[in-house]
Amino acid sequence: MEIFRTVTELVHYALERGLIEKEDRIYCTNRLLEMLRLGNYTETEIPSPARELEELLREIDDYAYENGIIPENTVTYRDLFDTDVMGIFVDRPSNIQAKFRDLYSISPKNATDWFYRLACDSDYIRTYRIKKDVKWVTDSEYGKIDITINLSKPEKDPKDIAAAKLVKASGYPKCALCRENEGYAGSVSSAARQNIRVFSFDMAGTEWFLQYSPYVYYNEHCIAVNRSHVPMKIDRSTFEKLLCFIEKFPHYFIGSNADLPIVGGSILSHDHMQGGRYTFAMERAPIEKPLTFRGYEGVTAGIVKWPMSAIRISGKSKDELVSLADKILRTWRGYSDPDAFIFAETDGEPHNTITPIARRRGDDFELDLVLRNNITTEEHPLGVFHPHKELHNIKKENIGLIEVMGLAVLPSRLKSEIAYMKAAILDHVDFNSIENIKKHRDWFETFKDKYDFTEENTESIIMEEIGKTFVRVLEDAGVYKCTPAGRAAFLRFTDKVNSD
Ligand SMILES: [Zn+2]
């Protein structure tokens, strides 16, 4: 039978990747036969070269649907099933934690290299989907900016969306980040996680754990998660934790989303941070204006040459950095400057917060403190320091940590819209006559006369203009503009920190 061949190959894949040992082969085969409701089996030859995991799982899912093991042939049910299948091959959490600790004692990088490979080999990170993301780099006055159109999150089938609405939230796990997801079967409304494993560790006196993002927006995109389901909160202890993390994992950076809506991330309900092994444009950006903070003369500080408003502080002493970062945060929380349209609060609602990022620079610890404000007005109902309306055709969503650092995560719709725009431009068709690119018409008008469009260059021109637009998105999100008046206002704030 065809399915026997797939079973043999899948078990062979797990052996080859070191997920299981040869003593586990029969046991895992039997577990797999049980899931596929097969009472009979004959081992087959392994083809050479071995087939890709994606193809094996596709056959497993097809078989499951054709034999009534899964109720619908939708991506949601297929994902639920093949995650359960892959869970067979992933070792128990206690063994994974022990192996991580052993490798960590050799070096932190040794441990994370292995842990990241486990996340990929176990199919928790579906690498064949990540490959679909469209990525390019745009030059700007702030350096090379990364642009990604995210195509790795599969579109939900309307059938599954309808089914998910009927599911009453169980409240277990409390959210997608909770520790209780480890080994969880999932449902039509939440992802299966039989194949995820996490590593628990101490973060400045509290229990946290490390896992990877299944969407990998950049290399080794990891998430550090608070063991407790408590809301995001930026305070002194956040800086302590960030620096604690880069002390434990010096080859990773780590940052936190801000703790207010509009300027925060998509999950504010569970305290977490995101890091990884990747150098963003922001890290490469130099200091444009050195600063000195009274009482912290040992700390190197300055305003970063960056479209968002960032103060960089660095030095050898973690305690000094935490203390200064806390001082800057407390001053900013209560700071208003009507001339620069900065208001600490309106009608009792606080607006000021910080997106902090930590990294090692040689032996030094370094913190970038990005000043954020989430005020809205009638003219800018989504936020004054948020992409403005004329840029919403490219980016309307919140500017969170990853974008702050110079990586645009753009909506998947843009991929097909680029193709439509290219066709319309070459055929001289008005964007207004094509429904899904109407929204780009005014934007296109701003640059169309600069270029001679050809079959060869049109797509790259559109992508280049998208990149430039993202830089303007970041400028909109900066509370102090990169203008003489904006910089003067920025210095009024740093003077206030010094006089507090
Ligand atoms: Zn949670």
Predicted confidence (pLDDT) per residue in 367-395, tens digit: 999 999 999 999 999 999 999 999 999 99
Q: Give the pLDDT confidence score for residue 267 in this predicted structure.
A: 84
Q: What distance in angstroms lies between residue 232's CA and the mean position of ligand 1's atoms?
A: 11
Q: What distance in angstroms lies between residue 402's CA and the mean position of ligand 1's atoms?
A: 21
Q: What distance in angstroms lies between residue 299's CA and the mean position of ligand 1's atoms?
A: 36
Distance CA 226, CA 232 (A): 10
Q: What distance in angstroms lies between residue 409's CA and the mean position of ligand 1's atoms?
A: 24
Residues 75-96: b if buried by 16+ CB within 10 A, e if exposed: ebbbbbbbbbbbbbbbbebeeb
Half-sphere exposure of 249 (CA within 13 A, CB side): 31
Q: Give the pLDDT confidence score for residue 485 in this predicted structure.
A: 98
Q: Give the pLDDT confidence score for residue 432 in this predicted structure.
A: 95
DSSP 8-state symbol, 190: B
Q: What distance in angstroms lies between residue 181's CA and the mean position of ligand 1's atoms?
A: 9
Choose among 164, 362, 385, 161: nearest CA to 262.
385
Distances (CA, A) of 29 to 34, 155, 194: 9, 32, 17
Q: What distance in angstroms lies between residue 184's CA and the mean position of ligand 1's atoms?
A: 14
Q: What distance in angstroms lies between residue 36's CA and the mean position of ligand 1's atoms?
A: 32
Residue pair 213/222 in contact (Cβ under 8 Å)? The answer is yes
Q: Give the pLDDT confidence score for residue 441 in this predicted structure.
A: 96
Residue pair 346/336 in contact (Cβ under 8 Å)? The answer is no
Please enumerate in sequence order all residues whose Cβ is within 8 A of that of 214, keeping only pairs 6 or more positions apart, or say none. Answer: 124, 125, 126, 191
Q: Give the pLDDT confidence score for residue 155 in this predicted structure.
A: 76
Distances (CA, A) of 83 to 39, 53, 445: 22, 12, 47
The tokens for 300 are 């190197």
Distance CA 106, CA 128 (A): 31
Q: What distance in angstroms lies between residue 3's CA and the mean position of ligand 1's atoms?
A: 38
Q: Give the pLDDT confidence score for residue 157 in this predicted structure.
A: 80
Q: What distance in angstroms lies between residue 496's CA and the mean position of ligand 1's atoms?
A: 37
Q: Where are the domains of the chain?
A: 1-69, 410-477
DSSP 8-state symbol, 155: P
Distance CA 409, CA 148 (A): 5
Q: Give the pLDDT confidence score for residue 168 in this predicted structure.
A: 73
Distance CA 140, CA 480 (A): 18
Q: What distance in angstroms lies between residue 215's CA and the mean position of ligand 1's atoms?
A: 18
Q: Give the pLDDT confidence score for residue 460 in this predicted structure.
A: 97
Burial category of 417 from C-beta neighbours within 10 Å (exposed 0-12, middle 13-18, buried 19 and up) = buried
DSSP 8-state symbol, 199: E
Q: What distance in angstroms lies between residue 208's CA and the mean position of ligand 1's atoms?
A: 12
Residues with CB under 5 A from ligand 1 (ion): 174-175, 177-178, 229, 270
Distance, C-alpha 455 to centroid of its chain:
34
The tokens for 419 are 């193709």
Distance CA 245, CA 441 (A): 46
Residue segments in the chain with a per-residue pLDDT below the cut of 50: none
Residue pair 396/409 in contact (Cβ under 8 Å)? The answer is no
Q: What distance in angstroms lies between residue 276's CA and the mean position of ligand 1's atoms?
A: 21
The tokens for 242 are 């960030």
Q: What distance in angstroms lies between residue 230's CA and the mean position of ligand 1's atoms?
A: 7
Half-sphere exposure of 419 (CA within 13 A, CB side): 5
Q: Give the pLDDT confidence score for residue 243 in this predicted structure.
A: 98
Q: Count how many residues are written for the chain.
A: 500
Tokens 């022990």, located at residue = 98
